[in-house]
Amino acid sequence: MIKLTVFTPAYNRGYIIEKLYRSLQRQSVFDFEWLVINDGSTDNTDNLFQTWLKEDNKFPIRYYKQENQGCLAGFNLGVELAKGEYLSKIDSDDYVSDDCVELLIKWLTTIIDNKDVYAVGGMRGTVDGKPLKGIGEWPLIDKNTGYVDIYDYERAQYNLNADMTEAWKVSVLKHFPFPVFEGEWQAPQEIVFNDIALAGHKIRWFPKIICICEYLNDGITNNRLLAQKMNPLGYSLLWKSKVKLKISFVRRLYCLCQSGAFALYSGQPKYIWIDNNHKFLSTLLLPVSFLLFLRRRKQFKNC
């Protein structure tokens, strides 16, 4: 079995995805496959891959096309198609360090006999070697140990609450597919990774930059408000999922109010009570949710 699947969903990134391809060609080890799902691109992405598939590479490229279904449906398909024991998602507008795969595989050998840890992770950074989170914002990891094993919902405590580069065990991911809502294309990944953490699975984090990225104007991160507007059920579920965590009662009320507001914005208010273990509280909080809904509607008006 291949050790690692490098998975890349692509949508109209023909102008930049070659950076990632060339960085994969420069890897120091090649125990990986590159799995790419073209999510309905209308640019030259397909032409590029028809050329690259004919090139003599030291790693296999598996390329699939589908009608545009959004990044979560694409991720679910990637997990199903992956031939690697572990999967690492690298976005189409990023590229990796020359030792990225080597480091991921090296780190994975440290968790072989650890039943509590299902993934390893490194950092994403800028071209000039700074953490993506900000200048000087390095993880709070003991230098003597060199890593930290934590649940996904504990990341903020260790200054790891930013986009990172992980390699997850595929067999675990298959038990936690991302929710896909009709007419929506995106929802925060936090929903699923918190559920995996609550099931008892940790990630081993290393303070090393292995992925280089630059947020683009057409990227999800730079369009967070638009993402919330276009995917209200996904964000309603995000806030609903936060209630499962060990949080204060006041914070729980806040999360239920936010979940209700997004459900109201979606036009499907019944979703407030679906998969909700706090139906009574959510009902009592409806007036507050409605006020938040009005605020959200005003925020979304111009985006």
Give the model's pLDDT for residue 68: 87
**3-class secondary-structure state, position 22:** helix
Residue 51, C-beta contacts closer than 8 angstroms, at least 6 positions apart: none
| Per-residue pLDDT tens digits for 39-57 | 999 999 999 999 999 999 9
Please indicate, yes or no, whether residues 112 and 131 belong to a single structural domain of this protein.
yes
Number of domains making up the chain: 2
Please indicate, yes or no, whether residues 186 and 273 belong to a single structural domain of this protein.
no
Please indicate, yes or no, whether residues 262 and 145 belong to a single structural domain of this protein.
no
Whether the CB-CB separation of 235 and 188 falls below 8 Å is answered with: yes
Termini Cα distance of the chain: 46
Please indicate, yes or no, whether residues 241 and 110 belong to a single structural domain of this protein.
no
Q: Residue 170 sits in which domain range?
A: 4-219
- 218: amino acid identity, one letter: D
Cβ count within 10 A of residue 53? 12
Please indicate, yes or no, whether residues 32 and 171 belong to a single structural domain of this protein.
yes
Whether the CB-CB separation of 79 and 190 falls below 8 Å is answered with: no
Alpha carbons 105 and 32: distance in angstroms, whole number: 10
Residue 298, C-beta contacts closer than 8 angstroms, at least 6 positions apart: none
| Per-residue pLDDT tens digits for 169-185 | 999 999 999 999 988 98
Please indicate, yes or no, whether residues 82 and 135 belong to a single structural domain of this protein.
yes
Q: Which two tokens stand for residue 114?
A: 């650890």
Q: Domain end: 173, 198, 219, which one?
A: 219
Residue 108, C-beta contacts closer than 8 angstroms, at least 6 positions apart: 3, 4, 86, 120, 167
Q: Domain end: 199, 219, 239, which one?
A: 219
How many C-alpha atoms does 287 have within 13 Å on its Cβ side? Answer: 1
Alpha carbons 119 and 88: distance in angstroms, whole number: 10
Q: For 290, which DSSP code?
A: H
Query: Taking the model in full, what pTM does it have?
Result: 0.91
Q: How far is CA 44 from CA 51, 60, 66, 154, in A?
A: 11, 21, 15, 41
Q: Domain end: 219, 246, 267, which one?
A: 219
The whole-number mean pLDDT for each consecutive block of 10 residues of the chain, a chain of 303 residues, reads 94 94 97 96 94 96 92 93 97 96 97 96 91 76 92 93 94 96 89 96 96 68 82 96 95 97 97 95 97 95 83
Please indicate, yes or no, whether residues 237 and 202 belong to a single structural domain of this protein.
no
Q: Which two tokens stand for residue 186?
A: 């995106």
The owner of tokens 């023909």 is 14
Return the CATH number at 16: 3.90.550.10
| Per-residue pLDDT tens digits for 61-79 | 999 999 888 888 999 999 9
Number of H helices, E strands in the chain: 11, 9
Please indicate, yes or no, whether residues 29 and 133 belong to a single structural domain of this protein.
yes
Please indicate, yes or no, whether residues 94 and 53 belong to a single structural domain of this protein.
yes
